[in-house]
């Protein structure tokens, strides 16, 4: 997965779509840089040529997207088993089952920020 980021000269993100292929991202980048169908900040130079007042960058975000999914799944599991922790705090006679403790730790270990 590829992410195209258009920023103004102050670094503010103006546009940030995702694409399945690098070719798709590059095609949009070409359209943006030639001012086709997109209206991003620009000015005319002394010769009357349009000059972009923005930057365009393409990044491969495949790994980030995959890690985001792993993080979301791990957090969902932790959330769904939080009640064991609450129960064990409120009632010392009902400790967290060992398999749940191990699975919760494994979920925490999968989370990367």
pTM of the predicted model as reported, rounded to 2 decimal places: 0.65
pLDDT tens, residue by residue, 50-73: 888 999 999 999 999 999 999 999
Whether 38 shows a pLDDT value over 80: the answer reads no
Q: How far is CA 93 from the centre of its chain?
A: 42
pLDDT tens, residue by residue, 9-19: 999 999 999 99
Q: How far are the Cα atoms of 42, 57, 85 from residue 21, in angstroms, in the given order?
A: 28, 15, 44
């Amino acid at each position: 997965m590829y992410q195209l980021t258009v920023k103004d000269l102050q670094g503010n993100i103006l546009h940030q779509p995702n694409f399945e292929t690098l070719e798709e991202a590059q095609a949009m980048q070409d359209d943006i840089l030639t001012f086709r169908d997109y209206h991003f900040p620009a000015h005319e130079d002394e010769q009357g040529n349009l000059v972009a007042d923005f930057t365009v960058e393409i990044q491969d975000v495949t790994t980030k997207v995959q890690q985001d999914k792993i993080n979301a799944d791990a957090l969902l599991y932790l959330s769904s088993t939080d009640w064991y922790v609450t129960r064990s705090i409120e009632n010392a006679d009902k400790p967290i089952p060992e398999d749940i403790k191990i699975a919760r730790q494994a979920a925490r270990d999968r989370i990367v920020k």
